[in-house]
Amino acid sequence: MRYLLIPVISVFVCMSVLASKTSYADTDSIQVEKILASISRAYKDVKTLKAEFTQTTELVTLKSKEETKGTFYIKRPNSFRWEYAGEEEEEETLVVGNSEKVWIYEPELMQVVELESEGSGTFFFTSLLNAMDDLGKNYNAVVVDSTLESYSIRLEPKVAIPQIRQITITVNKENFHVTKTVVDDKYGTRTTVALIGTEYNPEFEENLFIFKLPKGVKVVKPH
């Protein structure tokens, strides 16, 4: 099974990282507040997202790396669909979730894992979109890099949640849309997701977020 985007339990992501000094002078608290406010404005009216993505998962302790790609669909407040491409159709992985269920389907295993949405958490980008409205209220932020085209910002939730060590988002300076995320967990795994061709507020059919069980596929419900 390929490494999927790290689930986020309850609200969002936990970080236990100390704010460090950056190499440039324009990243004081006032500038950070302005950047966060600009991000919130950019996503205020975004209800749905669609994007192609590339994902790199690195297991630091094992010195291994895996790269995947695919397409995701997100609809506020908690509907999502991640289609992970494979070289063959049976190697593809599908993750679908809504307010009631989460399904993780791997055709090569002929099984789908079914979870209750309540208590099972949701995927990172779904939580990220919900949090965009007021990042400054929910997160402490540090600008860790600035280029001609983008800012990279490390976010620290004010209410910590276990599992995740730190997260960094990269946003475009022109429109303040997220172009990349890097998530480091407490077990030495780093997951980098780069977004390609993001669409904002596309229309989705509701059945996009409901998993249709293929014939012969076994349903597994963890206790």
Specify the CATH number for the domain of residue 78: 2.50.20.10
Dig out the tokens for 122 from the structure: 């949701």
In this predicted structure, which of 95-104, 129-138, 186-195, 199-208 has the lowest mean pLDDT?
A: 129-138
Name the residue among 62, 54, 92 with its Cα closest to residue 191: 54
Query: In this predicted model, what pLDDT tens digit does every residue of 59-94 receive, in sequence order?
Result: 877 778 889 999 999 998 888 999 998 766 656 899
User: 3-class DSSP state for residue 137?
Assistant: helix
Q: Is residue 36 part of a domain?
A: yes
Which whole number is the average pLDDT over 111-128?
70
Partnered with residue 95 across adjacent β-strands are: 82, 104
Which whole number is the average pLDDT over 200-214?
92
Integer Rg of the chain from CA: 18
Q: What percent of the chain has pLDDT over 90?
A: 39
Comparing 80 with 157, the larger pLDDT belongs to 80
Q: Is residue 167 part of a domain?
A: yes
**Secondary structure percentages of the chain, helix, strand, coil, to 5:** 20, 45, 40
In this predicted structure, which of 65-69, 129-133, 149-153 has the lowest mean pLDDT?
A: 129-133
Give the range with max mean pLDDT: 19-28, 29-38, 115-124.
29-38
Rounded CA-CA distance 164/187 in Å is 9
Q: Is residue 49 part of a domain?
A: yes
Q: Is residue 69 part of a domain?
A: yes
What amino acid is encoded at 170 in this protein? Answer: T
Q: Is residue 30 part of a domain?
A: yes
Domain span holding position 97: 9-199
Q: Is residue 206 part of a domain?
A: no
Q: What is the pLDDT of residue 126?
A: 66
CA 3, chain centre distance (Å): 13
Under the banding of pLDDT at 50, 70 and 90, the label for residue 217 is very high
CA 189, chain centre distance (Å): 15
Q: What percent of the chain has pLDDT over 70?
A: 78
Q: Is residue 221 part of a domain?
A: no
Q: Is residue 212 part of a domain?
A: no
Which whole number is the average pLDDT over 112-134?
70
Number of domains in the chain: 1
Q: What is the pLDDT of residue 8?
A: 33
Q: Does the predicted model carry a pTM greater than 0.75?
A: yes
